[in-house]
Amino acid sequence: MCGICGYINHQLMDYPNATTRLERLNNTLLHRGPDQIGAQVFTNAGLAMCRLSVIDLATGYQPMGNEDGSCWVVHNGEIYNFMDLRRELESLGHNFRSRSDTEVVLHGYEQWGQECIKRMRGMFAFAIYERPSSNRSGCGRLFLARDRLGKKPLYYYRDEERFIFASEIKAILAHPDVPRQVNRHAIPLYLAYGYVPAPHTIFQHIYELPPGHILTVQDGQMQLEEYWDISYPNAADLRLSQQEIVAHLQGLLEESVRLRLLSDVPLGAFLSGGLDSTAIVAYMTNLMDQPVKTFAIGFEGEPSFDELEYARLVAREFRTDHHEFVVRPDTIDLLPKLVWHHDQPFADSSAIPMYQVSKLTREHVTVALTGDGGDELFAGYERFAAARLADGYGRLPQYVQGVLSRLLHSLPESTSYRSFVRRARRFVESAPLPLPERYLGWAGIFHTSFIRELLADAASIDPQTHFQGYFRKVPDVDPIAQLLYVNAKTYLPGDLLVKTDRMSMANSLEARSPFLDHKLLEFTASIPSSLKLRGLTTKYILKKALNGRVPRLIVKRKKHGFGVPVSHWFRTSLKDFVGEVLLSSRAEGRGYFRAHAVRRLIDEHQSGKRDYGHQLWALLTFEIWHQIFIDQNAPV
C-alpha cells in the first residue's frame, strides 16, 4: 500500500528544480507509506511514491523500472492474483528481480499493454511511464489505471503545460503552479450526495479518475476509457438452484478471504458485530492457524448507536484476540485532521469511528480486513426494502397520504439511531416520487428543494438530473438491480471506500475488502433480485450462505449502520460549537449559503422539531475544509 504521485510535461523541458518539486508532492503522502520513499525524474516527467511495506519487504522498492529502463511504474494497492500472473509471465520469458506484485504490473504492461488491467484481481491505482524511444521524438507516454470499484484513489490536474497525478488531492495542491480555486458547480452535488462524485472534485481543474477507468497522456493529448462496468445478465440465464447458488457463494467468499490473507506483516479484522464483518471473521478463523485479532468501536452517551455487545458475542464465538475503543463527544477535536485527510468536504460523520478504530488497529497489525461491500452486493440497506414498500404506499388514497404526511410533520424527531419519526417522515416525503428522485431523497443529505433555498447562487448542476444519469445506464433491469448498480456507482466509491481508504491510510493501515472482489461481485450480479431482497428481508441469499457459519443472533438482527450520534451532540455538548462555526461572520461572508437557511437548520434541530444532524455536519465539514484548504489558516 502506498501513496503515488507524478507528472508529465506536454513539451520537452528539464526544470532545474524538478526533483525538489516532486519531493514536495511526495512528502504530503508520507502517512500512506512511511516505510520507504522513492522518486525518479526524467527529462520531462517524474514518478514518486511513499511505500507501506506489506508484501516483499526487502526488494519491492518503487519507482520500479524494467531491465532497460524504458518503462517505470509506481503502484498503490495489492494484486491478489499476482503469483499466477507472475508464473504466466515467466513462461513468456520475463525475468523478475523481486517478489512484489508491483513488478508483475510492470511486466504485465510490457507483455499485454493496457489490456493487462483486465487480468488483475485486487485493489490498485498505478502509473506507468514509457520513455520515448531513441528513434522517436516526443515526451513519452503516461498510463494511469484505477481498480474496478474504486478502492484505491487517483486524482489529476491538467493545464496547457503539464499533467499532474496523485493518490490524494493535497499532493497535487503542493505543486506551486496549481491554483486553489473552489469549483462552485460541485457544491450542489456535495449537498445532495454528501461528497463530490467522480469525475468532479471541489477544486477547479482537478479531477478524479473514475473507478474502472484508464487514462493515457501522450504529446499533450489525454484519452480516458472505461475498461469495466457491472452488468446484470438475465436472471433466467443463471441455471442454478438456490442450493447451488449458496454453495457457489460460500466458495467465492472463502477464496476472496483467503486471497486477502497474503501478507508479510501482521493482519486482523474490523468487527462491528454486523453480519458482514462477522462473516469475514468467521472465514478468517477457518483459514488461519492462530486467533484472529479483531477491533471494534463503541459510543459513549448514546446506547442506540453502540454495537459493542454484538462484537463481543462474535469475539467470544470465534475466540478472537479482541480490542475495543469508545468514541466520546470530545473527538470533535479531530475534525480538522479528518477533513485534511479527506481533501474535500465529506459529510459522513462515521469517519470519526473509522479513524479511531484504524488508529487502534494499527497499534497491533498493519493490515485489516473489513466487511465493506456486503450491503452493496446483497441489497442490505433499509432503503432497498423501502423502495419495495413505496409501491404499496403509492397506491394509498391521496387523502390518506396527506394525513400521514401532516401527522409526521407535527411530531418532534429524536436523535436515536432508529428514530421512527425521522425515518417515517423521510419515507413519506419521497415515496410518491419516481424511483431516482425517491432513492436520492432517502440516500442523500439535502433534498433538492432545500438546496435551492440554501445556496446563495443558482445551482448550475441539478443533482436530480445528475443522479438520474446513473439509472439511464441500466434501463432494462428490475428496480432492485437498478438500485444496486446506482449504489455501487455512487455511495460505494464516493463515500464508503473514500472513508475506509483515507481513515485507514491516515494511520498507515492497509484495509482489504473481501466482499468487493470483482469475481464475487460479478457472480452476485447474476443472482435474481428476489434472492437478495426476499419480501422485506434484506441479504436473503447471503444469510442462507452464512447459516451455521455465524451466530444465529447475528444472522437475525436488523441492519445497523456505522452511525455516529452527532445529532445528539449538536443538541447537548456541541450545541454552542455548531452555531459558533456556521454562523460566524467568516462563514457567512463566504457567500455560498444563505444565512437565514443555516439559522433555520440550527434552530429547528436544537429545538427538537427536526433532526438535521447530518445536514449540519455536512455544512460544518464544508466550513472547516474551506478554512484548511482555501484560507489555509486552520490547525491540522
Does residue 260 sit in the same domain as residue 130?
Answer: no
Task: Give the per-residue pLDDT at 423.
Answer: 74
Strand partners, 65: 72
Within 8 A by CB and 6+ apart from 46, the residues are 6, 7, 18, 19, 21, 22, 39, 40
Task: Give the per-residue pLDDT at 43.
Answer: 87
Q: For residue range 239-270, what is the model confidence (pLDDT) as tens digits?
A: 889 999 999 999 999 999 999 998 877 899 99
8 Å CB contact between 541 and 484 = no
Domain edge (last residue) among 226, 245, 271:
226
Q: What is the DSSP letter of 357?
A: H
How many Cβ atoms are within 10 Å of 317's Cβ, its own excluded?
Answer: 16
Residue 575 lies in a domain: no
pLDDT, averaged in runs of 10, over the chain (636 residues): 89 71 93 89 93 67 90 95 95 91 95 95 96 69 97 96 96 94 96 97 97 95 96 76 95 96 88 93 95 88 70 95 80 88 95 90 94 94 84 74 70 64 74 86 89 87 92 92 95 97 95 97 94 93 95 82 76 90 93 94 90 94 96 67
Does residue 165 sit in the same domain as residue 296?
Answer: no
Does residue 49 sit in the same domain as residue 180?
Answer: yes
Residue 621 lies in a domain: no
Residue 193 lies in a domain: yes
How many Cβ atoms are within 10 Å of 588's Cβ, its own excluded?
Answer: 15
What is the β-pairing status of strands 2-9 and 45-51? Answer: antiparallel
Does residue 213 sit in the same domain as residue 250?
Answer: no
Q: How far is CA 617 from the centre of its chain?
A: 18
What is this structure's pTM? 0.93
Q: How far apart are CA 249 and CA 521, in angstroms?
A: 10
DSSP string, 267-320: EEEE--SSHHHHHHHHHHHHH-SSPPEEEEEEESS-GGG--HHHHHHHHHHHT-
- CA-nearest of 247, 483, 488, 267 to 370 is 267
Task: Give the per-residue pLDDT at 556.
Answer: 87
Task: Give the per-residue pLDDT at 135.
Answer: 45
Q: What percent of the chain has pLDDT over 90?
A: 67
Quick one: three-class SS letters along 574-598?
Answer: CHHHHHHHHCCHHHHHCCCECHHHH
Q: How far apart are CA 406 and CA 421, in angstroms?
A: 12
Q: What is the DSSP letter of 534?
A: B
Q: What is the DSSP letter of 533?
A: S
Helix pair angle (398-410, 420-430), 10° resolution: 140
Domain edge (last residue) among 171, 206, 226:
226
Residue 273 lies in a domain: yes
Does residue 239 sit in the same domain as residue 221?
Answer: no
Q: How far apart are CA 565 and CA 416, in angstroms?
A: 8
8 Å CB contact between 475 and 345 = no
Instruction: Write down the H helix ranges in 431-574.
Output: 435-443, 448-454, 463-471, 479-489, 491, 497-505, 518-525, 540-546, 552-556, 566-571
Q: For residue range 498-557, what is the model confidence (pLDDT) as tens digits?
A: 999 999 999 999 999 999 999 999 999 999 999 999 988 999 999 999 999 999 999 988
Q: How far apart are CA 532 and CA 377, in angstroms?
A: 8
Domain hosting 66: range is 2-226
Does residue 352 sit in the same domain as residue 277?
Answer: yes
Q: How far apart are CA 242 and CA 594, in angstroms?
A: 54
Residue 500 lies in a domain: yes
Does residue 267 sit in the same domain as residue 193?
Answer: no
Amino acid at 142: L
DSSP string, 403-435: HHHHHHHHS----STT-HHHHHHHHHHHTTS-H
What does each C-alpha distance from 28 to 48, 102, 162, 163, 171 come to in angstroms? 12, 22, 20, 18, 6
- Residue for cell digits 432545500? 450
8 Å CB contact between 588 and 303 = no
Task: Give the per-residue pLDDT at 329.
Answer: 61
Q: How far apart are CA 359 and CA 266, in angstroms?
A: 15
Is the omega angle on the peptide bond into residue 63 within 30 degrees of 0, that is, cis?
yes
Q: For residue range 434-482, what is the model confidence (pLDDT) as tens digits?
A: 889 888 988 899 998 899 999 998 777 899 999 999 999 999 899 999 9
Task: Give the per-residue pLDDT at 30.
Answer: 93
- CA-nearest of 113, 112, 129, 121 to 81 is 121
Residue 607 lies in a domain: no
Does residue 93 sit in the same domain as residue 178?
Answer: yes
Side-chain half-sphere exposure of 45, counting CA atoms within 13 A: 28
- CA-nearest of 299, 383, 330, 195 to 564 is 299
22: left (phi over 0), alpha (psi -120 to 50) or beta: alpha
Q: How far apart are CA 495 and CA 250, in angstroms?
A: 28
Helix pair angle (575-582, 613-625), 10° resolution: 50
8 Å CB contact between 120 and 99 = no
Does residue 13 sit in the same domain as residue 154?
Answer: yes
Residue 391 lies in a domain: no
The three grid cell numbers given for residue 32, joined into one nine-digit string: 500512506
Residue 2 falls in the annotated catalytic set:
yes
Which CATH number is 276's domain given? 3.40.50.620
Q: How far apart are CA 144 and CA 126, in angstroms?
A: 6
Within 8 A by CB and 6+ apart from 67, the residues are 95
- Residue for cell digits 520500479? 64
Angle made by CA atoms 129, 100, 286, in degrees to the nearest 5: 135
Does residue 193 sit in the same domain as residue 260?
Answer: no
Mean pLDDT of the chain: 89
8 Å CB contact between 362 and 503 = no
| Total domains present in the chain | 2
Which CATH number is 200's domain given? 3.60.20.10
Does residue 151 sit in the same domain as residue 241?
Answer: no
Does residue 263 sit in the same domain as residue 344?
Answer: yes
Write out the H or E segment, with its range, that includes residue 218: strand 213-218
The number of helix segments (H) and strand segments (E) in the chain equals 28, 17
- CA-nearest of 491, 506, 173, 148 to 346 is 491
Task: Give the per-residue pLDDT at 106.
Answer: 96
What does each C-alpha distance from 8 to 20, 22, 126, 160 come to in angstroms? 15, 11, 15, 12
Q: How far apart are CA 33 and CA 102, in angstroms?
A: 15
Domain edge (last residue) among 512, 528, 556:
556
What is the rounded (10 degree) CA torsion for 32, 36, 41, 45? -20
Task: Give the per-residue pLDDT at 297.
Answer: 84
What does each C-alpha distance from 392 to 396, 431, 438 come to in angstroms? 7, 9, 14
Task: Give the per-residue pLDDT at 126.
Answer: 97
Residue 593 lies in a domain: no
